[in-house]
Amino acid sequence: GGRATARTLAGPPAAADLLARAAALAATLPVTPAIAFIRVGDDPASESYVRGKAKKAAELGLDSRVHALPADTTQADLHALIGTLNADPGVHGVLLQLPLPGHLNADAALTCIDPRKDVDGLHPVSAGLLWQGQPGLRPCTPAGVMALLDHYRIPVAGQHAVIVGRSALVGRPLAGLLLNADATVTVAHRATPDLGAVTRRADLLIVAAGQAHLITPDMVRPGATVIDVGINRVPGQDGARASLTGDVHPDVAGVAGALTPVPGGVGPMTVAQLMMNTVQAAAQQTPADRRNGASGDVPR
């Protein structure tokens, strides 16, 4: 008999839609939105992430610059650079690429960023505004998930959303965004007993655990929408190249109603949302009388 296959929620068309909206907002501004990246040390993954983000900014016609600091940078030097960028009216967004070398305190550095320039949405003020349901800059991956759901017209209001993972980067802010969008929200994590009993209750299951194939078909309600945020590197076998896989087992496609692929699902949304955040930050920092119609209000 035929096996049901979930609708694929591809990231690239949804990301293109978000980038087009960012470009349209940028076109209403009297300034070119500008983002400054700070990277510390020589972690190759961080280097490649920053390169990708800067490339996307250039494609969109935004200004960007990269401050690559040596691995032995002190906390004081890092804070001094952030202070300089905060005070520079030509910079609208400041992004500190994580992780930092072990001797540096990321939370302390993130807290130094001017919240108006906090395009990664990780400053405690941004987190507080999110949880109060007030406008503000939102973390890129969770906001990107919301944009993906919106693009594919997946209902959120009144749905039971279950999130697996409670990190400050993904799980927690996503819970706030889903609450603000009128979902009923459950957050599961490493200490949740019988994870499947919780995930089976989800109309909307969003997984950000960083555990390859954690979610198996028996853990998913038939017809549920499943969003796979996980990116796990699996070593290649028998000389094959290493590959990327999500937190959701591929067989879940036989049970779910809709499913994001990995790669090519949530990943492209994160970078697109960063561009939108940068344009929104620039709009907020541009006096209203110099703007060309658009309010530049940061949406909820």
Q: Is 227 in the site for ligand NAD (CB under 6 A)?
A: no
Helical (H) or strand (E) element with 63: strand 63-69
**Choice from 170, 181, 276, 282 touching ligand NAD (CB under 6 A):** 170
Let me know if 72 is a catalytic residue: no
In the numeric block, the tokens 């507080």 are attached to 128
Shortest spacing between CB 140 and ligand NAD, in angstroms: 8
How far apart are alpha carbons 256 and 167 in whole angstroms?
25
> Measuring CA to CA, which residue among 185, 154, 157 is closest to residue 7?
154
Helix (H, G, I), strand (E, B) or coil at 228: strand
C-beta separation of 69 from 40 below 8 A = yes
Number of residues lying near ligand NAD (CB under 6 A): 25
Task: Please identify, using beta-carbon distances, which residue of 196 and 223 lies nearer to ligand NAD.
Answer: 196
Q: Report the residue number, 161 or 229, with the smaller CB distance to ligand NAD.
A: 229
165 among the known binding-site residues? Answer: yes
Regarding 173 and contact with ligand NAD (CB under 6 A), the answer is no
Residue 16 makes CB contacts below 8 A (sequence gap 6+) with 272
Of these residues, 114, 117, 118, 120, which one is catalytic?
Answer: 120
Task: Tell me: does residue 167 bind ligand NAD (CB under 6 A).
Answer: yes
53 belongs to the catalytic site: yes
> How far is residue 19's CA from residue 273's CA, in Å, rounded to a whole number?
8
Of 246, 41, 29, 269, the closest CA to residue 150 belongs to 269
The reply to whether 190 sits in an annotated binding site is no
Nearest to 216 by CA among 234, 199, 203, 202: 199
Report in angstroms how near the CB of residue 157 gets to ligand NAD at its nearest: 24
Contact between 205 and ligand NAD per CB under 6 A? no
Residues contributing to the annotated binding site for NADP(+): 165-167, 231
Q: Which residues belong to the active site?
A: 53, 97, 120
Contacting residues toward ligand NAD, per CB under 6 A: 141, 164-167, 169-171, 188-190, 192, 195, 208-211, 214, 229-232, 266-267, 270
